[in-house]
Copies of this chain bind each other. A is one copy, B any other.
């Protein structure tokens, strides 16, 4: 694996040009380039040498994964010390004409510390350069996502076999998270959402002590993290023998919107057109109020990455970009439906979009 990380750093080095060095501080970016991101670690990509700066002894309080063995690691004595990072930054970057930093992540305090320790070093903005490198995934990354999706499918499948009526949202969410780990996840990809009755269909609902009741819609959204890669799946079920008419009607609309979004996942399609494809179905059925500001988003080392599938998003889909498609409708006081898959954009010759989360999207009555 060491070569993979070295190759990624090389791509960043090319981006910086011959005179520059880069200081990468955003944890997912550090992990992408170094193989691991111990708490508070920053990565210096120098002109010739790369160094991972860790504020504490490695092995203690580190995140999952191990730093690339081919990478020099320097331990800083002062935990989280801005000055220490700045000093080490100066040492590595001294041969460089400028140091590109992640202004969207670096704090003003740390930026000042860098400027004062190395006053002759010009600080520039790396902007979202590493995020852009992360957009298109290699097959190794996609296979981690595939496993992360499989784990989430398994956890969800087991939940569906258990008795649900009378259990609280909070307990169902905990049980799902335990099952994720049982099936090999590092942990949940994000806080598991379980929403019953009037809560159903709300994006990002935090589980409460409300219990599942007969006749409820039940929306579940969960994901696994596997070797750092994060999947997402969301399904809505109905509790009891048969769904009410309004439930069937609402489900069909959201299902059609989600399918339209999935079918729009073709390389070259504008992000906003994917959003429009799904949103149009909801609009046409009269659900225009309170829709989420986006239909989906990229996933990878973070659960919410570029691209954004939203009306104002700029850019076009590439092959090998994993995204979620997750339209939903929530009717205040009644509940709603949300259907969410993780897919990888593939060209038609490769069979079209690859669905990673394969749990059925029929409206199941549990």
Contact = CB atoms under 8 A, between A and B. Distances in A.
Copies in the complex: 2
A106 B60 CA distance: 27
20 contacts: A59-B202, A60-B202, A60-B203, A62-B206, A63-B206, A77-B293, A79-B293, A101-B108, A103-B108, A103-B109, A104-B107, A104-B108, A104-B109, A107-B107, A108-B108, A109-B125, A174-B177, A174-B178, A174-B181, A178-B178
Interface in A124-163: 125
Counting chain B CB atoms within 10 Å of each CB, the highest count among A57, A108, A206 belongs to A108
A306 to B, nearest CB: 13
A11 interface: no
A56 B310 CA distance: 14
Interface string A251-270: 00000000000000000000
Interface string A73-89: 00001010000000000
Secondary structure of the A contact surface, majority rule: loop
Contacts of A104: 107-109
Contacts of A19: none
A33 to B, nearest CB: 20
Interface string A193-213: 000000000111110000000
A15 B125 CA distance: 33
A171 B178 CA distance: 9
Interface string A234-258: 0000000000000000000000000
A181 B178 CA distance: 13
Contacts of A178: 174, 178
A246 B63 CA distance: 31
A170 interface: yes
A2 to B, nearest CB: 22
Contacts of A119: none
